[in-house]
Amino acid sequence: MQFTNRTQLDSRRLEQMILQAIGAWPHDGLSVSIHYSRGAEFSGTCYYDEGRIRVNVGRRNRYPYPMQAAIARSQSNRRYWWRELYSVELVDAYQLVLFVCMHEFYHWLVRKARRNVRQKEARCDRFATAVMVDEYGATVRDSRGVPVARSTWDFQDLNGFVAAALRSRAPRRAAPGAAVRSTWASPVGAGKSGQQLLLFEP
């Protein structure tokens, strides 16, 4: 993995955190760069064909940072889908960078496993949340600020979904009209009740 850090955060610490979180997943040829954002609290982009992830983090964020994540089970009625927004408590800028990076890394694994890359935001959030909980003991809370059980958000076989990435040498080039990158930025849209409205069920 090629790693570049353009922030004042410690480069060695960041790189070690990212590599530890990636673990045995393939990352040969992957490029990760960390930058300061121009105004957003954070943003992340995965450039599929280039094998490149860019993470931007705000200079003035306050910590601990309550990262809103679309990880709860979706619900529906006759008219629409919705999902309660949970939050993951991130203690510092290092953890914020790691969460965003792991979100985008799962996008890259989805593409490398030759899965459809569309509508995977919830899976990416769950993957990043699992890293924060397993490696750093992060607390996950519902929209009222109450800690929730892991079973309320960790209910998909995320590793199995991208297992083919372990056998794939390189992502396929995008077909004409297909998404060539995934971009994610703050803030996550939420209503007064802490819910995210969905057009599709991921």
pLDDT tens-place string over residues 55-65: 999 999 999 99
pLDDT at residue 202 tops 70: no
pTM of the model as a whole: 0.86
pLDDT at residue 115 tops 70: yes
Name every residue whose Cβ is closer than 8 Å to that of residue 70 and which is 6 or more positions away in sequence. Answer: 83, 85, 121, 122, 125, 188, 196
Strand partners, 184: 44
Nearest-angstrom CA–CA distance, 146 and 84: 13
* Cβ count within 10 A of residue 94: 18
Q: pLDDT-based confidence at 71, cuts 50/70/90?
A: very high
Q: What is the mean pLDDT of residues 81-87?
A: 90
Q: pLDDT-based confidence at 93, cuts 50/70/90?
A: very high
Q: What is the mean pLDDT of residues 106-135?
A: 96
Q: What is the mean pLDDT of residues 23-41?
A: 95
Q: What is the mean pLDDT of residues 146-160?
A: 97
Q: What is the mean pLDDT of residues 118-134?
A: 96
pLDDT at residue 191 tops 50: no
Collapsing DSSP states into helix, strand and coil, what is residue 15?
A: helix
pLDDT at residue 158 tops 90: yes
Mean pLDDT of all residues belonging to the chain: 88
Contact between 158 and 130 (Cβ < 8 Å): yes
What whole-number percentage of the chain has pLDDT above 70? 84
Domain residue ranges in the chain: 2-164+181-195
Phi-psi region of 97 (alpha: psi -120 to 50; beta: other; left: phi over 0): alpha
The answer to which of 61-75, 89-103, 177-191 has the lowest mean pLDDT is 177-191
Q: What spatial distance separates the first Cα and last Cα of the chain, rounded to whole Å? A: 29
Phi-psi region of 6 (alpha: psi -120 to 50; beta: other; left: phi over 0): alpha
Q: pLDDT-based confidence at 177, cuts 50/70/90?
A: very low
